Amino acid sequence: MMLSRASKYAILSTLFLAEHSSVEKKISVKVIAESIDVPSPFLAKLFQQLVRGKIISSTKGPNGGFYLNESNGKRNVLDIIENIDGLTKLNDCFLGLNECDSENPCPVHFIVEPFKENILGKFRDKTIMEFAQEISEKGRVLTLKDITPKVKK
């Protein structure tokens, strides 16, 4: 249940686009990378894949950039993870057993399983758009930058 960095960056930047972009207002990789504090060449690669997966949209050229269209906004967080890491990573046995189910459970199966189901459900049922709404209404952090500046020495 620990995501790759790629997936983390993907979720953050997609939510960032959900909040700040639109068909009329596209945003460049560079701006997004700086906002969420992520290496921009890496994010560029990632975005290519997200575009192919129809998680986000893009247009090239002047005033081009990345944005979310109507249907992008209806995708969910699990779609993003699936597109980058694949779902096996999330569904696989916590201890890595090849076969682990209620018939042949690993030692932690009945501890982990209920959580997994529940949390995956939450990531599946809430759309990116709905997340974005909560982000702007309630205030959520969308950057890897330090936000509480340390006191100067």
Among 34, 39, 87, 104, binds DNA (CB under 7 A): 39
Contact call for residue 81 and DNA (CB under 7 A): no
Contact call for residue 89 and its own copies (CB under 8 A): yes
Find which of its own copies, DNA, none residue 145 binds, CB within 5 to 8 Å per kind.
its own copies
Q: Report the length, in residues, of the chain.
A: 153
Contact call for residue 145 and its own copies (CB under 8 A): yes
- CA distance linking residue 21 with residue 69, whole number of Å: 9
- CA distance linking residue 85 with residue 139, whole number of Å: 27
Among 1, 27, 2, 3, which residue's Cα sits nearest to residue 16?
27
Among 23, 18, 43, which residue's Cα sits nearest to residue 142?
18
Q: How far is the CB of 20 from its own copies (least distance, A)?
A: 14
Amino acid at the residue 12: L
Q: How far is the CB of 69 from its own copies (least distance, A)?
A: 20
Q: How many CA atoms lie within 13 A of 110 on its CB side?
A: 5
Contact call for residue 91 and DNA (CB under 7 A): no
Neighbours of 40 (CB within 10 A): 15
- Identify which range of 24-32, 40-48, 62-70, 127-135 contacts its own copies by CB under 8 A: 127-135
| Identity of the residue, 134 or 145, whose beta carbon is nearer to DNA in the bound complex | 145
Give Cα 129 to chain centroid, integer Å: 13
Find which of its own copies, DNA, none residue 87 binds, CB within 5 to 8 Å per kind.
none
Contact call for residue 145 and DNA (CB under 7 A): no
Contact call for residue 87 and its own copies (CB under 8 A): no
